[in-house]
A = this chain, B = another copy of it.
Amino acid sequence: MRQGYGRGQGRGHRWGRQLESSGIRPTLARELVFSVMESSEGHLSVEEVLQEVRKSEEGIGLTTVYRSLELLHSNGLVKKLDFGDGRAVFELSDTLSGKGPHQHLICRSCGQVQDLTGSPVDKEDFAGSMKSFIREKYRFTTENMEIKVYGLCSECG
């Protein structure tokens, strides 16, 4: 479609100062991808993000969506998850979504993914003691701890 990156927003892009400066440009595609992530509750596959993005701008390419999501991910704006079905899914970062740290429940029957919040593992003291245990015993520096719970959702019960 070749028609200018930022058409529409101009500069008002709301996705972080980190990206401004350092040669990373706020383009329409990136803006749209971020916007989709921002306005979506759930966990989206690349293909799903593409569909959403194309509702606003027909000609956006799959490759660009891959690249935009990767960019947002490597800059901490979105999380990249893998629930074992052979494709990545993305969701807005915990801080941006306001959800705070959370884990996931994955139904092995219908595949539904559900956020798990307020569990013992979210508690600061738990995470803390876990990290120090790991450092003491293994000299391993924990950066990120990810928990996935597999089972049956209420539907598939």
Find the B residue at minimum CB distance from A88: B84
Known: A114-B138, A141-B157, A142-B151. 20 other contacts (CB 8 A): A82-B82, A105-B140, A107-B140, A116-B134, A118-B137, A119-B134, A120-B129, A120-B133, A121-B130, A138-B153, A139-B154, A140-B151, A140-B153, A141-B152, A143-B151, A144-B151, A145-B149, A146-B147, A146-B149, A147-B147
Distance (Å) between the CB of A43 and the closest chain B CB? 16
Per-residue contact bits, chain A 116-129, to B (CB 8 Å; 1 contact, 0 not): 10111100001001
A151, B121: Cα distance in complex, Å: 18
Q: When the two chains form their complex, are residues A143 and B152 in contact, meaning their CB atoms are under 8 A apart?
A: yes
Tell me how many chains of this kind the complex includes: 2
| Interface residue count on the A side (C-beta < 8 Å) | 35
Binding site for B on A (CB under 8 A): 82, 84, 105, 107-108, 114, 116, 118-121, 126, 129-130, 133-134, 137-154, 157
Q: Which chain B residues border A150 with CB–CB below 8 Å?
A: 142-146
Name 12 A/B residue pairs within 8 A (Cβ), A-sorted. A114-B138, A114-B140, A116-B134, A119-B130, A121-B130, A134-B149, A138-B154, A139-B154, A140-B152, A141-B152, A143-B151, A146-B150
Q: Which chain B residues border A139 with CB–CB below 8 Å?
A: 153-154, 157
